[in-house]
Amino acid sequence: MAKIFCVANQKGGVGKTTTTVNLAAGLAQAGQRVLMIDLDPQGNATMGSGVDKRQLELTVYDVLLEAASIEEARVTSQKLVDAGCGYDVLGANRELAGAEVELVDVDRREKRLRLAIDEVASQYDFVLIDCPPSLSMLTLNGLCCAHGVIVPMQCEYFALEGLTDLVNTIKQVHANLNKDLAIIGLLRVMFDPRVTLQLQVSEQLKEHFGDKVFDAVIPRNVRLAEAPSFGVPGLVFDPASKGAQAFVSFAQEMVARSRVM
């Protein structure tokens, strides 16, 4: 059965999408069967996985409204398959922004995605969900499905404070909606060891969260930022880059951690 992880942080621009697509590619490269679900109406994870969001006939929106199954709506980018990193994509585009409103009146609205994933969970080793930068109904749908949350964060001054809201939301979802949910780990991203403050915050994180801080550290690396404009994860765009190598390590760490979950 698939292990299901949300990549979440209510802040925008912290590296959620970069983490999701590169982890998906890294896991696929390691022989894992992966489904990547884009829960952000911006559709960046869709585009960054080599899938044109404007061409999609069915998206996660149709799945949330029970107009399609994941089996019907998922697609795969041949570019990624050819690179040995192929994974399935349940894409998103602007249409998804409407789901928030359309789901207001429906029954068990926060469980829609979970029910859909149940149908395909046996076909995958990992399901990764890229969440939008908010604690909205969409993020809630993601959290209701997941065994764990991966929180990418930059080692900045307010990093710990920003975590409080997310940790509280996760606690509430755990208490009321999904007993399986836990924070799997904090992933330090866009890390620059030359900046003293980042080293200090990194140490603080380890003091507060112990082994919930992943060993893998993702450096600030321009190749990771360039890759989306070519419609591939950095791990495919420039496999030798420091950023790509860091995500290979992170994928290995996730495989190891998932074995003992």
Binding site for ligand ADP (CB under 6 A): 12-18, 44, 133, 189-190, 218, 220-221, 224-225, 228, 243
Q: How far is the CB of 17 from Mg ion (least distance, A)?
A: 3
14 vs 116 by CB, closer to ligand ADP: 14
Q: Is 147 in the site for Mg ion (CB under 5 A)?
A: no
202 burial type by CB count under 10 A (0-12 exposed, 13-18 middle, 19+ buried): middle
> What, of Mg ion, ligand ADP, none, does residue 218 touch, CB below 5 to 8 Å by kind?
ligand ADP
- CA–CA separation, 135 and 143 (whole Å): 10
For position 16 contacting Mg ion by CB under 5 A, the verdict is: yes
> What residues are paired with 138 via a beta bridge?
none
Give the three-state DSSP class for 147. coil
Q: Which is nearer to ligand ADP, 147 or 188 (CB)?
A: 188
Residues 6+ apart with CB under 8 A from 238: 223, 226, 227, 244
Tell which residue, 2, 24, 6, 261, has the closest CA to residue 122: 2
Selected from 9, 10, 17, 46, the binder of Mg ion by CB under 5 A is: 17
List the single partner that 13 binds among ligand ADP, Mg ion, none, CB under 5 to 8 Å by kind. Answer: ligand ADP
Contact partner, 34, from ligand ADP, Mg ion, none, Cβ < 5-8 Å per class: none
Cβ contact 113:146 at 8 Å: no
C-alpha neighbours within 13 Å on the C-beta side of residue 48: 28
Q: Does 9 bind Mg ion (CB under 5 A)?
A: no
Name the residue nearer to ligand ADP (CB basis): 18 or 68: 18
- For residue 92, give the amino acid letter: A
35 versus 227: smaller Cβ distance to ligand ADP:
227
Of 225 and 256, which CB lies nearer to ligand ADP in the complex structure?
Answer: 225
Of 68 and 85, CB closest to ligand ADP: 85
Q: Which does 233 bind (CB under 5 to 8 A by kind): Mg ion, ligand ADP, none?
A: none
How far apart are alpha carbons 181 and 148 in whole angstroms?
5
Strand pairing class (88-90; 75-76): antiparallel
- What tokens does 44 get? 């960046």
Q: Which residues bind Mg ion (CB under 5 A)?
A: 16-17, 44
